[in-house]
Amino acid sequence: MKKEEQLTLMRCFAEVEDPRIGPAQLHNLEDILTIAICGVICGANDWVNIELFGQAKEAWLKTILELPNGIPSHDTFGRVFRAIDPEQFEQAFMKWIMSIQEVTEGEVVAIDGKSLRRSHDGLLGKDAIWMVDAWVSENQVTLGQLKVAEKSNEITAIPKLLELLMIKGCIVTIDAIGCQTKITEKIIEAGADYVLAVKENQGILFREMEWLFELAKQVKFEQVPHEHIKTVSKHGRLEIRECWSISDGDYIDYLQNHQDWKGLKTIAVVETEFRSKEKITRQRRY
């Protein structure tokens, strides 16, 4: 980790309130948080390994940390992380990631929700943990994530996650659950663009797009201003993808309440054909 990145890390985490008082403050909170984060980055997966990392790197750590009483014990790491405010820590961590991670204009930021593997326990009646995260595919980094109670809560979590991210100039992609007018407002207000999947959960919008593209296909898109691209790839099976997009305002106006979708410029349909020796399957997405 570069010196300037380390200093940025400590500045960001200075905002986390120290829950300890008096003699319990044997070690600086910034030192504890910095060692823990560096340890996890280097592969430590529990408090004992984080303590061992600190001991192995103590000479280097002393060049950037105060460490008035040496490396904290694994019990100290555990007690401190149980006591600090998790939301403050999360916001500080995301602020640090955003400060050192350059997200360049035009990059795709994928917002997605998924359940954590092995987080479900039927015997204890424990439901799976659902997370909503923002993933930058080009840089291979997660910019931020939020825990939600269940999949349906993604709708309320996505706007909160967007508020924490600096996505100006980027393209945000979200599956159908994020196809909500309030979410598009958040994205546009942040200075980004969006590509949203439209499925049956957006009943009227889905049926109108289905109807509009069906009519355009019947006339082979003649007299319909559009763009078209076709790709063919083979990796085990043949995949043929075709995309038709319409950006003409007169056609966008056919959609009811189109003005509610802030920044709406284009609608598109993607048809995919998968060919293998056994069968041919087709898929259509809007």
Q: Per residue in 55-71, pLDDT tens?
A: 999 999 999 899 999 99
Q: How many CB atoms lie within 10 A of CB 285?
A: 13
Do residues 173 and 252 share a domain?
no
Q: Which amino acid is at 99?
A: S
Provide, rounded to the nearest whole percent, the portion of the chain with pLDDT above 70: 88
Task: Give the residue from 31, 64, 99 where a domain finishes.
Answer: 99
Instruction: Return phi, psi of residue 184, to 5°.
Output: -65, -35
Q: What is the mean pLDDT of residues 134-162?
A: 76
Task: Give the residue from 99, 128, 162 where a domain finishes.
Answer: 99
Do residues 243 and 222 share a domain?
yes
Q: How remote is the C-alpha of 140 from its chain's centroid?
A: 11
Q: Is the pLDDT of residue 212 over 80?
A: yes
Quote the pLDDT of residue 145: 75
Q: Is the pLDDT of residue 103 over 50?
A: yes
Do residues 115 and 191 share a domain?
yes
Quote the pLDDT of residue 101: 60
Do residues 8 and 87 share a domain?
yes
Quote the pLDDT of residue 143: 74
Quote the pLDDT of residue 3: 47
Total of domains in the chain: 3
Q: Dump pLDDT digits (tens) for 107-142.
A: 888 998 776 655 455 555 555 667 888 888 776 777
Domain that holds residue 70: 3-99
Task: Give the residue from 151, 179, 196 where a domain finishes.
Answer: 196
Q: Is the pLDDT of residue 92 over 70?
A: yes
Q: Supply 8's token pair.
A: 């940025």
CA distance linking residue 94 with residue 2, whole number of Å: 18
CA distance linking residue 73 with residue 57, whole number of Å: 14
Please state whether the predicted TM-score (pTM) of the whole model is above 0.85: no
Residue with tokens 């980790």: 1
**Do the bridges between strand 267-275 and strand 238-246 make them parallel or antiparallel, or are there none, so unpaired?**
antiparallel
Do residues 80 and 120 share a domain?
no
* CATH number for the domain harbouring residue 157: 3.30.420.10
What's the helix, strand, coil split of the chain in %, to 5? 40, 25, 35
CA distance linking residue 225 with residue 275, whole number of Å: 30
Do residues 116 and 132 share a domain?
yes
